[in-house]
Amino acid sequence: MEIGTKYRVLSIDEEKEVQYFLKKKFLERGYRFYAAQDGRDGLAQFAYGCPDLVLLDLALPDMDGMEVIQKIRALSDCPLIVISSRRKEKDKVLALDAGADDYITKPFGTEELMARVRCVLRVRRRRCGQDAFQLQNLKIDFEKRLVTADGARVHLTPVEYRIIEYLASNSGKLITYPMLLEKIWGPYAAEDNKILRVNMTNIRRKIGDNPTKPRYIFTEAGVGYRMAESSDCG
């Protein structure tokens, strides 16, 4: 699995044996894997870790998984797969109606799980409306999560990648600071955009975009950022 910025998977499950098994399988396939064993820790890791996929057991020691689904959906449209021992149809329906993208019952087959993971990640990419973005010498492969600039691979942090991915998916549109903060850090992100400015500085440095003479990302002072379209830069 060749990927640029590895997909970050957050598993929220009380069972240590399941976590160990999942970690081994996901690391073997090139993913980054993070684990939480209760709902509160899972939500905290979700808020600060910006995962690309959540695997959630409904039976947690501190809260019901349905509440976790609702809280995550209040923050993000991040792909979420329930992995649960609950086999009743009503449980599956409730989870899917609450916002889960898929539901798989324990015990499960590794290849089936991985196929479902690939499926929900493909759906997420399709929501962006494109598989890749290119502007002059900047290229973003959304499927591989690979960014290159002037022919060289750009190594971005997961947060930096999510920012440039969102701007590129909305190229030509002005994205305000509050919009970007909410998209990346959720609706309860601090209103101070200092963290956003720091990440943007790093992104520009890595892709070789001089803010005084930008080729790719333009700043609308006091408002937000806009990723150029091809016609903007000739």
Q: Which residue is it, tokens 């396939």?
A: 29
| Entry pTM | 0.63
Give Cα 187 to chain centroid, integer Å.
15
DSSP string, the chain: ---SSPPEEEEE-S-HHHHHHHHHHHHHTT-EEEEESSHHHHHHHHHHH--SEEEE-SB-SSSBHHHHHHHHHHH----EEEEES---HHHHHHHHHHT-SEEEESS--HHHHHHHHHHHHHHHHHHTT-SEEEETTEEEETTTTEEEETTEEE---HHHHHHHHHHHHTTTSEEEHHHHHHHHH-TTS-S-THHHHHHHHHHHHHHT--TTS-SSEEEETTTEEEEPPGGGG-
Output the pLDDT for position 4.
Answer: 41
| Tokens read off for 40 | 């509160």
- Mean pLDDT of successive 10-residue segments in the chain (234 residues)? 66 94 92 93 87 93 93 83 90 87 89 88 63 87 86 90 89 83 73 86 94 89 81 42
Output the pLDDT for position 231.
Answer: 43
Contacts of 182 (CB under 8 A, 6+ apart): 189
Output the pLDDT for position 153.
Answer: 93
Domains and CATH numbers, the chain: 8-127 (3.40.50.2300), 132-233 (1.10.10.10)
Task: Give the residues across from 32 on adjacent strands.
Answer: 8
Output the pLDDT for position 87.
Answer: 87
Output the pLDDT for position 233.
Answer: 42
